[in-house]
Amino acid sequence: MIKFSRIATLVVLDAACVNISYFLAYMLRFELDMDAPGFYEFYSAYTDNFVWLTAIKLVVLFAFGMYNSLWKYAGAKEMVKVLAASIFATFGALAFLIFVQTNPPMPRSIYAITFLFDTALFGGARFAYRYARELRGGERPGLLSVFAKDPNEAGSSRVLLVGAGDAGASIIREVRYSPERHMDVVAVVDDDKSKRGHKILGVKIEGGSSDIPTVVEKHGITEVIIAIPSATRQQIKEIVGRTSGTGARIRILPSLMDLIDEKVSVSALRDLDIEDLLGRDPVALDTDGISGYLAGRTVLVTGGGGSIGSELCRQIAAYAPKKLIALDIYENTVFELANEMAATRPEMDFEPVIASVADEVRMRRVFEKLRPQVVFHAAAHKHVPLMEFNPAEAVVNNVLGTKIVCDLAAEFGACKFVMISTDKAVNPENVMGATKRLAEMVLSVASSEAHGNEGGSLPADARGTSYAAVRFGNVLGSNGSVVPIFRKQIARGGPVTVTDRDITRYFMTIPEAVQLVIQAGAMMRGGEIFILDMGEPVRILDLAENIIRLSGFTPHDDIEIVFTGLRPGEKLHEELSYGAEDINKTAHDKIFLGKAMSPSERMAAALDAAGAGGAAVSGYAGAAGDGAGAAGDGAGAAGSGDAGREAGAVGAGGAAGGLEWIIREQVAHMNDDEVKSWLREFLPEYGG
């Protein structure tokens, strides 16, 4: 009803404008003298047809959408629309009068003059209507703002806008005509020197970003808005650095990539996050190459409910797979992901699967039923301190689970297998890193067996499954990572706990890491360990201080920072590659190639072991309970305990000595110290 009333008001105004325009045009044509010879004679061309002329021009205005625009936010584009509508309205009137052949005809000058009046009156009527609505709503239109009440009295925040471009203009316009926003843009800064001293929609551009502290103090700014969707991460860091000491709240517009399907508006603003400071510029992707291996295929993501796995599912979905399978042992996150996919990708065949990658029987059923062609293996126990106290479970899940999924991928004809690895696998000091390093070795051996050559130089269609690992550091915001932990500690009022003043970590946003993992899948030939460019390591103390500032507090004053000491298995600094690895560039500037190192002699023997003869290489007798069976000569001597009887039974079956047998029948029954001793034997570089 309100919309109909608004349209009816504009139609009446336009009808009046059409007729006023003709009257004024005739008055100008006859030099404001209605008694001039021929005035009424020529004026009859209008008076005899004014109804049709009015109707024609109103129809043209409707055709140009003049009654659908939000004149509340009218600007240059709307004025161009008014100009175009006036031109076509004038030609419409001309065509009609030629058709009816008025006598005498309307003077040609009248058409030109009415066009000018139409443009002025149509536009003027709309702006007058907008200003009337603003006055009625208590807003501050244009020049009338000088008589307005101080916005601070109404509780409005005083805003400094960084960026005097189109996005900044949109924010100013919306804030000005939306009093419910409780905001007042009082100043603008921009690093384009040619803009300084000028005004943007009445707001003065008072300097560059280096002047932010001065402008904030001068105007009593309470909020700084970064309105530069194209800003690089470095530019954002510099702006934030100049703002952080002012005490003003910082908000930011999303990047251009995020704004593709959304207009610039105040509702799109969000609080600055640590990802804006640590994240990097958008990743360039070979979309054709990625589509070539994902489009139309069945894709399995293990650990699909986790931070990395769920983001893999989201991004893979954009490449139109035939079926997308998210497999995880934790049903809650998979349930949430399934609901998200149903809402955002209703057309996609998405199948959630609850299973443990270490359960070979269950995983075989999954592969038999769904036949995945591409596998992203993200399932892993990755929390360093927890795995120090649960090492057997880490070996079972991270090593045995990888071996099971790896073998099933080959057995059921998957063409690609990409495993998520970690920088903690390099010179591992902890159980989690050691198990991921062993998992990398599992892939290396599987790749050699599948390809018949370690380099994988044969064409893809002439080989079996191609295997690759992608190694990177911490991701921001993942489950259990330091960022959400810091946020929770700040929400409780502190203290924020940091293990060591000098500890550093590599960080990357989850979307960027996943983009590069998917890109690596398009580049792989088989047997590679890809290493992602993580940028420079970040000092955790600096990270904690930045998060405290972004939360509106002062580090060490409002929120205390406490140093707790390194935790079991924790390194002061992480590495992305072994010194012995030959790190090479690839076609992508953020993806490097590390030469896969051969497994240890014991690991290689366990991976090679098969059948009855395999038991001879195991040699390792794991203790479990009162007596553990020693696996030897393919028979497996039965010990006095349950583990010994199981080991003997498996050994008699011919499977003893293989990696899976060793983990199931020996490692799974060891105490924590024995598991770590086993890791050192199978992975000599493990320093735990």
Helix (H) or strand (E) run with residue 476 in it: strand 474-476
One-character DSSP codes across 91-127: HHHHHHHHHHT-SSPPPHHHHHHHHHHHHHHHHHHHH
Query: How many whole angstroms separate alpha carbon 450 and alpha carbon 466?
Result: 7
Q: Which of 544, 539, 478 is nearest to 505 (CA)?
A: 539
Query: How many whole angstroms separate alpha carbon 418 and alpha carbon 518?
Result: 9
* Residue 94, Cβ density class (10 Å: 0-12 exposed, 13-18 middle, ≥19 buried): middle
Residues 6+ apart with CB under 8 A from 262: 254, 268
The single residue of 57, 81, 416, 424 carrying the catalytic annotation is 424
Query: How many whole angstroms separate alpha carbon 132 and alpha carbon 139?
Result: 10
Helix locations, 257-415, DSSP H: 274-278, 287-294, 307-317, 331-344, 360-370, 384-389, 391-394, 401-411
Contact assessment for residue 618 and residue 604, using Cβ atoms and an 8 Å cutoff: no
Q: At what angle do helices 287-294 and 510-523 cross, to 10 degrees?
A: 70
Angle (CA) 169 6 262, round 5°? 35
Query: How many whole angstroms separate alpha carbon 436 and alpha carbon 581?
Result: 17
Instruction: Identify whether 195 is a catalytic site residue.
Output: no
Contact assessment for residue 373 and residue 301, using Cβ atoms and an 8 Å cutoff: no
Buried b (16+ CB within 10 A) or exposed e, 101-138: ebeeebbeebeebbbebbbebbbebbbebbeebbeeee
Q: Which of 395, 409, 385 is nearest to 439 (CA)?
A: 395
Neighbours of 288 (CB within 10 A): 9
Length of the chain: 688
Contact assessment for residue 264 and residue 167, using Cβ atoms and an 8 Å cutoff: yes
CA dihedral 142, 144, 150, 153 (to 10 degrees): -100
Query: How many whole angstroms separate alpha carbon 437 and alpha carbon 603?
Result: 11
Residue 540 is which amino acid?
Answer: I
Catalytic residues: 424
